[in-house]
Amino acid sequence: MSKNSFSHNNNLLKELSTHGNHHTTAHTKLDTIATNTAIIHTDQVISSSAGGMAMYTTEEAPISDADNREGWAFNKLVAGTNKFNWFFYGAGNTLTTMGDLKSISCILSVDAYTASNSLPFFIVYSKPTGVGDASWFKSSITYTLSAGEKIHLGEEIQAWAGVKPTKESNRRMVEFNVSSTNTLGVDTSIEELYSIAIHSDSGSAVGTKMLVKQVGFDLYTGDAKIERRINLKI
């Protein structure tokens, strides 16, 4: 995606520019919108509900945590390409562009680590148009753990990408940045936002374990900022 799913994050813009000379469009409201216009939604999804099952139709379903922690757990027990793709955004009746997306925020823990592919990552997808689509989506941007960030096994962290979101409780905030694995359109910032997902790596080792407690995102739409936080329940 050309770029700017999170348009006013200067570091992100620099990162994106290293992955191709794509035209970018800044979303000028990101730095000027008043915080008192924020609309905060804290919701929950149960894995067995229709809404919950719609989030994981393409790969592994979540399981309950062996230690009875809240959230959706993943435990890779056998060799193979099994993984999870948990989607947590769906478009409504208002056009929302990639440039309207400010940040991603998820509460999670990594419970086993053997290599970098033991870690989760985020992908943001734009809506297909029928012309120049990459697949079932038009463009995609992948966010992986930023260089220098530390992961401690079992620690509940707030993973984020884009513009730094509101801190959740006393959890350590861990940044994810744009990776080099992107399928970019001509100007991603004006493409329609289609979906956001957290993924595990199909190439991860047996024993890969993680727990996702909450997923969320921040949007600017019109003159309002929308903060969506979705608690994941079994």
Q: What is the largest CA-CA distance in the chain?
A: 50
How far is Cα 225 from Cα 212, in angstroms, rounded to an integer?
Answer: 24
Q: CA 223 → CA 47, 101, 152, 220, distances in Å?
A: 33, 14, 39, 7
How far is Cα 2 from Cα 178, in angstroms, rounded to an integer?
Answer: 11
What is the reported pLDDT for 92? 79
Question: Phi/psi class of residue 131: alpha, beta or left (left: φ > 0; alpha: ψ in -120 to 50)?
Answer: beta
**SS3 of 232, please?**
strand
Closest CA to 74 of 36, 109, 117: 109
How far is Cα 18 from Cα 3, in angstroms, rounded to an integer?
Answer: 11
Q: What domains does the chain contain, in order, with CATH numbers?
A: 10-28+38-233 (2.60.120)
Pairing of strands 101-110, 140-145: unpaired
What is the reported pLDDT for 140? 92
Q: pLDDT for 72-87, tens place per residue?
A: 999 999 999 899 999 9
Pairing of strands 224-233, 38-46: parallel
What is the reported pLDDT for 193? 95
What is the reported pLDDT for 41? 66
What is the chain's alpha carbon radius of gyration, rounded to the nearest angstrom?
Answer: 17
How far is Cα 196 from Cα 90, in angstroms, rounded to an integer?
Answer: 8
What is the reported pLDDT for 15? 33
What is the reported pLDDT for 39? 55
Q: CA 100 → CA 6, 60, 104, distances in Å?
A: 7, 30, 12
Q: Which residue type does 151 have?
A: I
CA atoms lying within 13 Å on the CB side of residue 125: 22
Positions of the chain with pLDDT lower than 70, given as ranges? 1-42, 181-186
* Global confidence as pTM: 0.82
Give the DSSP H or E segment for 43.
strand 38-46
Ordered alpha helix ranges (H), the chain: 10-17, 50-54
